[in-house]
Amino acid sequence: MHRILIVDDEPLLVNSLQRVIRMSDLAVSDIAVALSGSEALAKLQSHNVDIVLSDIRMPEMDGIELIRQVHERWPCCKVIFLTGFSQFDYAQKAVQYGAFDYLLKPVSDRELLDCIDRAIRQRQRETEQLLFQETLKKQYEEGLAVIRQTFLRKLLAGDFANIGQAKRKMEKMQIGLDPEEPTVFLFFRIDGIRDGTGFDEDLCVFAIRNIAEEFLNKPFHHCCLEDDNGYVIYPLQPVGRPDREKEPAPSLESIAESIQESLAFYSKIQVTMLVSDPAPSVRQWPETYRTAVSILRHSLFLGTSLILDFQSFDFRKEGHVSSLSRLPSLHTLMESGREREFRERLRELFGEIRTMQDVPFGLYIELFQHVSAAFIRLINKLKPNREQMQELDLDLDKLTSVRAFATLDHMEHYFLGAAERLFSLMNQSAKDHVGALVAKVKLHVENRLSDELSLTALADHVHVSAPYLSKLFKQHTGEGINEYVTHARIMRAKELLRDPQLKVYEVAAKVGYDNIPYFTKVFKKVVGVTPQEFKSANS
């Protein structure tokens, strides 16, 4: 609904205009009046006004000065001038200064209402365009963050043509790093919450980023990403470094200790951190990343809340299971519900170990850590209750200790069986989640029919993406979400139209329609008659 301000020094004309507008079906909720330009400015300061209907010639301040100030201070406000024939040239000049239109006195009721309706429609279009632009900006920023993450992961995997290409893309994506400069990586592995209540991974990552960047923003250019292992990773390059060969790693270790202490004190989060050796350029990022991941996996058997570097393990003598680095990772396959691919990948991992001769114990540890971490992450995500944990029948000793298995076959059999039960629980949880999500959306719609109920707004309310919500709602209910909202609004409108005290435009506003003609069109399409016809037949 919209607010109108009538400005004229003739009280009789003001009252007449006010009465004509109030008796119309225009989407107007409030009509304020002012008898001078200065009084109009005072009203504009204290009220949100959409349309000003003003005379040109008035004492103290004329309409031209009024529109000049309105244009400067409230540029979205539409100004319609009323003028006599002798002021025609004056009115044309006012239109040049930004007036929406002018009407010649005496003006007919129809001409007045048509002009106001056009101003309302223009105001609505501008508001919709502004909201659309804000939505695009938000989507762009969210999309850019996702694109940055994808690109940084590709750099860590060595998936780029050359340094020149990497440099151009970094600049385009506003990543403040130089691919030709040495880069040190700071890794975070979440070990848990100190009070033992378990952790929400997204909240932990949020806390890590907030606290870490308090320490990193000043001394380093940096960006942040999360890999498939759940590690939070900061590529770092010192700010204002005069010597390209100077290595910042020693000072970074003390910063890492401060970050670790702050996370434990303020957020109760226990993390193990690793400071890498410098990678001379982006070409060495993949090797540095693989080394860091291997150290973090091996270090699980040393405890929690560690500060590590590349001298922590001489793991390079132990060999490597190449299938572990192949994408997608096990936890990605589990969390996306791809059971067949997960089982194939699991058998592939164990099969590769079986083909080796004289396998070092470190490789068994690496394999076990990779697989068990995927299971633990999924369990933390699903948050099963006590009854569900009993149904899963997970021997937690086997999930946390490689020494619980006498043979490789024993280990493989355990994880395949546990995977079958976990996928079953995940599928059931997904069905329950969808039902609860749809119910929450329906309840919100029923309680907020007068509010904005676009797909984007509803998705924001239940904290999912708009395409995801649209797909789930359609699959669960058999109808589109916009169809459901429209049906709910029209059904509620039918109830309200039976009330003889409510006018059609009031009913429209209560069910979320500011545009009366559009409400009438939708109502007739659904019900078969116009709102006024329905009201006349049922009041």
Q: Report, as an integer, the average pLDDT of 161-188.
A: 92
* Residue 427 confidence (pLDDT) above 90: no
Q: What is the pLDDT of residue 393?
A: 80
Q: How far is CA 6 from CA 47, 62, 475, in A?
A: 13, 14, 51
Give the whole-angstrom CA distance, residue 331 versus residue 375: 7
Beta bridge partners of 409: none
Q: Give the domain range for residue 390.
A: 318-430
Q: Strand 184-193 and strand 101-104: pairing?
A: unpaired
Residue 322 exposed, middle or buried by CB count within 10 Å (0-12, 13-18, 19+): exposed
Higher pLDDT, residue 380 or 299: 380
* Helix axes 481-497 and 466-477, enclosed angle (nearest 10): 70
Same domain, 106 and 199: no
Q: Report, as an integer, the average pLDDT of 141-165.
A: 88
Same domain, 248 and 280: yes
Residue type, 444: H
The contacts of residue 523 (CB under 8 Å, 6+ apart) are: 490, 493, 529, 530, 531, 534
* Residue 513 confidence (pLDDT) above 70: yes
Per the domain annotation, does 219 fall within a domain?
yes
Q: What is the pLDDT of residue 249?
A: 44
Q: Report, as an integer, the average pLDDT of 189-202.
A: 71
Per the domain annotation, does 211 fall within a domain?
yes
* Residue 317 confidence (pLDDT) above 60: no
Q: 38-52: per-residue pLDDT in tens?
A: 899 999 998 889 999
* Highest-pLDDT range among 190-204, 415-429, 515-529: 515-529
Same domain, 212 and 325: no
Q: What is the pLDDT of residue 235?
A: 98
**Helix (H, G, I), strand (E, B), or coil: what is residue 413?**
helix
- Of 430, 461, 484, at which residue does a domain stop? 430
User: What's the chain's average pLDDT?
Assistant: 85
Q: What is the pLDDT of residue 88?
A: 63
The contacts of residue 533 (CB under 8 Å, 6+ apart) are: none
Q: How confident is the model at residue 105 (pLDDT cuts 50, 70, 90)?
A: confident
* Helix axes 408-447 and 481-497, enclosed angle (nearest 10): 30
**Residue 512 belongs to a domain with what CATH number?**
1.10.10.60
Q: 368-401: per-residue pLDDT in tens?
A: 888 888 888 888 887 887 887 777 887 777 787 7
Q: 7-28: per-residue pLDDT in tens?
A: 998 999 999 999 999 999 898 9
- Of 282, 305, 328, at which residue does a domain stop? 305
Give the whole-angstrom CA distance, residue 194 versus residue 201: 14
Distance separating the N- and C-terminal Cα atoms of the chain: 24
Q: Is the peptide bond between 11 and the residue preceding it cis, with omega within 30 degrees of 0?
A: no
Same domain, 48 and 80: yes
Per the domain annotation, does 144 fall within a domain?
no
Cα-based torsion angle of the residue sequence 528, 530, 535, 538 in order, rounded to the nearest 10 degrees:
-20
Q: Degrees (nearest 5) of the Cα angle 403, 406, 411?
A: 80
Query: Are 460 and 493 spatial neighbours (Cβ–Cβ below 8 Å)?
Result: no
Q: What is the pLDDT of residue 366?
A: 77
Same domain, 120 and 25: yes
Q: Strand 307-309 and strand 269-275: pairing?
A: parallel
Same domain, 168 and 294: yes
Per the domain annotation, does 140 fall within a domain?
no
Q: How confident is the model at residue 250 (pLDDT cuts 50, 70, 90)?
A: very low
Q: 258-286: per-residue pLDDT in tens?
A: 999 999 999 899 899 999 999 999 999 99
Same domain, 401 and 454: no
Q: What percent of the chain is predicted at pLDDT more than 90?
A: 40
Q: 443-473: per-residue pLDDT in tens?
A: 999 999 999 898 888 988 888 888 888 888 8
DSSP 329: P
Q: How confident is the model at residue 314 (pLDDT cuts 50, 70, 90)?
A: low
The contacts of residue 301 (CB under 8 Å, 6+ apart) are: 365
Per the domain annotation, does 13 fall within a domain?
yes
Give the whole-angstrom CA distance, residue 511 versus residue 533: 18
Same domain, 12 and 89: yes
Same domain, 181 and 205: yes
The contacts of residue 349 (CB under 8 Å, 6+ apart) are: 321, 323, 324, 330, 367, 370, 371
Q: How confident is the model at residue 305 (pLDDT cuts 50, 70, 90)?
A: confident
* Highest-pLDDT range among 15-29, 53-67, 75-89, 353-367: 15-29
**Residue 80 belongs to a domain with what CATH number?**
3.40.50.2300
Q: b vs e for 9-33, b when ≥16 Cβ sit within 10 Å of the residue's Cβ?
A: beeebbeebbebbeebbbbbeebbb
Q: How confident is the model at residue 213 (pLDDT cuts 50, 70, 90)?
A: very high
Q: What is the pLDDT of residue 434?
A: 78
**Helix (H, G, I), strand (E, B), or coil: what is residue 490?**
helix
* Residue 211 confidence (pLDDT) above 90: yes
Per the domain annotation, does 148 fall within a domain?
no
* Residue 85 confidence (pLDDT) above 60: no
Domain tally for the chain? 4
Same domain, 512 and 487: yes
Q: 51-74: per-residue pLDDT in tens?
A: 999 988 887 788 888 888 898 899
- Of 271, 305, 339, at which residue does a domain stop? 305
Q: What is the pLDDT of residue 155?
A: 95
Give the whole-angstrom CA distance, residue 472 versus residue 179: 42
Q: What is the pLDDT of residue 217?
A: 92
**Residue 289 belongs to a domain with what CATH number?**
3.30.70
Same domain, 71 and 118: yes
Same domain, 13 and 125: yes
Per the domain annotation, does 216 fall within a domain?
yes
